[in-house]
Amino acid sequence: MSQNIYPVPEGFAGPNTINAEQYAALYAESVDSPETFWAKAAERLEWFKKPTQIKDTNFDPKNFYTRWFADGELNVSVNCIDRHLATRGDKTAILWEPDSPDTPSQAITYRQLSERVNKLANALRTLGVQKGDRVTVYLPMIPDAAVALLACARIGAIHNVVFGGFSPTSVADRVRDSAAKVIITADEGLRAGRKVPLKANVDAALQQEGTQSIEKVIVLQHTGSDIAWQEGRDVWLHDITASEPAECEPERMNAEDPLFILYTSGSTGKPKGVLHTTGGYLVQAAYTHEAIFDLREDDIYWCTADVGWVTGHSYIVYGPLANGATTLIFEGVPSYPDASRFWQVVDKHLVTIFYTAPTAIRALMREGEELVKKTSRKSLRILGSVGEPINPEAWRWYYDVVGESRLPIVDTWWQTETGAFMIAPIPGAIPTKPGSATKPFFGVQPALVNAEGEFVQGAGEGNLVITDSWPAQARTVYGDHQRFIDTYFSAYPGYYFTGDGARRDEDGYYWITGRVDDVINVSGHRIGTAELESALVQHPKVAEAAAVGFNHDLKGQGIYVYVTLVAGEEPSNELQKELVAHVRKVIGPIATPDFLQWAPALPKTRSGKIMRRILRKIAENAPDQLGDTSTLADPSVVDTLVKERHLT
Ligand code: PRX
């Protein structure tokens, strides 16, 4: 067992290092006296009005409320920019590494960032965007993505970032649901040398029903390609910002005013607009970023996520900039021009903290050690992982090959809904174990519930719940508060249900085992089975569809769909390709099914419910584990599916 425990490296110490005793004492205080603990934690921010009310929360679904720092007033952009100007004005805030290594990288100082953010904030105000208005952001991984978020925050507009890989339909769904007034996009994005037609996607999205709320499309010139232009609606970002002053009065925001909406998949229906507010979110994003990455003033910090996901929000933009750090934004992909790009970028910019996803680690592991070893990586101090459980084999490769057995790995478990890290090792305090996210962050109280609905004591396994509120937790589902309560607080009344399963070992370490609901985690991205199914049945030839996840060597989970055609339609290879393309078109390439099996019928209970458990076992090629099929309306359906299972 001992070789599976990786101690805190000897001599590990910096100005923000938290050691084991400090962790124990602070954790105890955070749960015993949350008011005192978080009042102190809030002092890391600059407030227009300091909060005196700290925690005011109730998880009882009948009388649910979550208010943190409720009488405090602040502005996120002031915290991420203005307050650093006196001491860090010339420090690099954002380092940009473009898609191609041949394109020059850029360094943007805090002072330059301030200018760009203020100009855009003024331009948004000139266009009529006011506090509380929604702004959709659909941009590539360029510094302007951070500028756009901060400009919204400066004037109190609620941003909604849509991942650049999403389809026009996904953009339209999010515009409709949030009734956004403005979209900020670019002519095109670039990924691995290929162009992504962002503006054309926006044009297509805005032709769809229910998107009339959009008054202006702000377009950033990135690749310079020709694009279609709608006079009166479309404006160039460089035109509208050119004559705006470089100072913009920040909006005084209440701590509980919304900061952003981010859509994420759940087990039912369309993606939900998870809403985060201002004060609690920023306190925890900044605090966790400092503590878990053991932040030091001269760090070059690089998180490889996309700003379209929560990781990009909290740990590319808000956490690092609130801490006055240098954050690297990378436009490209790990495999372009070749699979040593990550390590080349680390060496080029002397990155000290590197934070990525297990799916990337597994893909690079497959390419062999040579591509890593030909680079130096001497600048690195800390490695991080996020998005899905990291298998011990990938963890060890990350540790031994990338980190040369000298760097702590912080495996960070959290979610769009949690806003910030929840379970993750503080590197100066907590020895790590490959595959475990280890121990909870301050104020986070995890618990496991077994199949009987009882709390698991000591070592054991169950569904992961959080028993009390934490500052960065989502406050609601935009426009549907009941759905928020039903989704997260009703399965186990009084507790937040994460949707994940977990194991706790004899040392109190948590091991996340993955989703226990109908969410498939593909390469760290959440895709709802309901979304896949509704995309498929939109096709005129599809009568019914069911989607399940299966274990996938690289992606963690892959997508396996079963399709029943309408009477009279015949399965064919062409139709199979057409349906896969259809799903990509409706949702986006990240939702591409790996396998599609024709199903003459789907296994259903007598009340008509699809038995996904059985479909999962068939997809996993485990027909001996189907369990009880006697409750099915027609058990023979299963035999056919097993016989015709897609051969992998
Ligand atoms: O299943 C867990 C998995 O990702 C889910 C959250 O996805 P999302 O909201 O898109 O946020 C991803 C980035 C925080 C969780 O319910 N997950 C995330 N991080 C980990 C993880 N599973 C295991 N270990 C992790 N470190």
Q: What does the pLDDT look like over 173-232, one tens digit per residue?
A: 999 999 999 999 999 999 999 999 999 999 999 999 999 999 999 999 999 999 999 999
In this prediction, residue 267 has a pLDDT band, given cuts at 50, 70 and 90, of confident
Give me the pLDDT at residue 607, please: 85
Give me the pLDDT at residue 269, please: 79
Q: How far is it, in rounded angstroms, from Cα 4 to Cα 513? A: 18
In this prediction, residue 601 has a pLDDT band, given cuts at 50, 70 and 90, of very high
Sequence-ordered list of residues with C-beta below 8 angstroms from that of 42, at least 6 positions apart, any chain:
50, 51, 54, 69, 72, 279, 283
Buried b (16+ CB within 10 A) or exposed e, 235-255: bebeebbeebeeebebbebbb
Structural tokens at position 410 = 């912080």
Q: How far is it, in rounded angstroms, from Cα 386 to Cα 407? A: 16
Q: How far is it, in rounded angstroms, from Cα 566 to Cα 568? A: 6
Report the separation in Å between the CA atom of 524 and the middle of ligand 1, taken as the mean of its atom positions: 7
C-beta atoms surrounding 325 within 10 Å: 26
Structural tokens at position 164 = 């650049």
pLDDT cut 90: percent of the chain above it? 94
Give me the pLDDT at residue 545, please: 96
The identity of residue 612, as a single letter, is R
Report the separation in Å between the CA atom of 388 and the middle of ligand 1, taken as the mean of its atom positions: 5
In this prediction, residue 249 has a pLDDT band, given cuts at 50, 70 and 90, of very high
Give me the pLDDT at residue 647, please: 56
Q: Say whether 500 counts as a known binding-site residue.
A: yes
Average pLDDT for 353-363: 97
On the question of pLDDT at 1 being above 60, the answer is no
Name which residue sits closest to atom 2 of ligand 1, judged by CA: 388
Instruction: Name the β-bridge partners of 302.
Output: 328, 354
Report the separation in Å between the CA atom of 311 and the middle of ligand 1, taken as the mean of its atom positions: 10
- Which atom from ligand 1 is nearest to the alpha carbon of 519? 1
Q: Say whether 400 counts as a known binding-site residue.
A: no
Name which residue sits closest to atom 13 of ligand 1, judged by CA: 387
Backbone dihedral region of 208: left (phi > 0), alpha (psi from -120 to 50 degrees) or beta?
beta
Within 6 Å (CB) of ligand 1, which residues are found?
264, 309-311, 385-389, 411-416, 437, 498-500, 512, 514-515, 521, 526
Give me the pLDDT at residue 491, please: 95
On the question of pLDDT at 631 being above 90, the answer is no
Q: Say whether 192 counts as a known binding-site residue.
A: yes
Q: Say whether 480 counts as a known binding-site residue.
A: no
Report the separation in Å between the CA atom of 412 and the middle of ligand 1, taken as the mean of its atom positions: 8
Q: Say whether 415 counts as a known binding-site residue.
A: yes
* pLDDT digits 0-9 by tens, 310-352: 999 999 999 999 999 999 999 999 999 999 999 999 999 999 9
Domains, the chain, with CATH or none: 20-503 (3.40.50.12780), 523-644 (3.30.300.30)
Name which residue sits closest to atom 7 of ligand 1, judged by CA: 415
* pLDDT digits 0-9 by tens, 541-577: 999 999 999 999 999 999 999 999 999 999 999 999 9
Q: Are residues 377 and 343 in contact, defined by beta-carbon separation less than 8 angstroms?
A: yes
On the question of pLDDT at 630 being above 80, the answer is yes
Give me the pLDDT at residue 646, please: 73
Alpha carbon distances (Å) from 1 to 6, 426, 437, 442: 11, 21, 17, 27
Report the separation in Å between the CA atom of 358 and the middle of ligand 1, taken as the mean of its atom positions: 11
For residue 396, which phi and psi values (nearest 5 degrees)? -65, -35
Report the separation in Å between the CA atom of 416 and the middle of ligand 1, taken as the mean of its atom positions: 8
The residue whose CB lies within 8 Å of the most ligand 1 atoms, and thus the one to mutate among 163, 292, 386, is: 386
Q: What's the mean pLDDT when you consider all of the chain?
A: 96
Judged on CB neighbours under 10 Å (0-12, 13-18, 19+), 179 is middle
Name which residue sits closest to atom 22 of ligand 1, judged by CA: 388
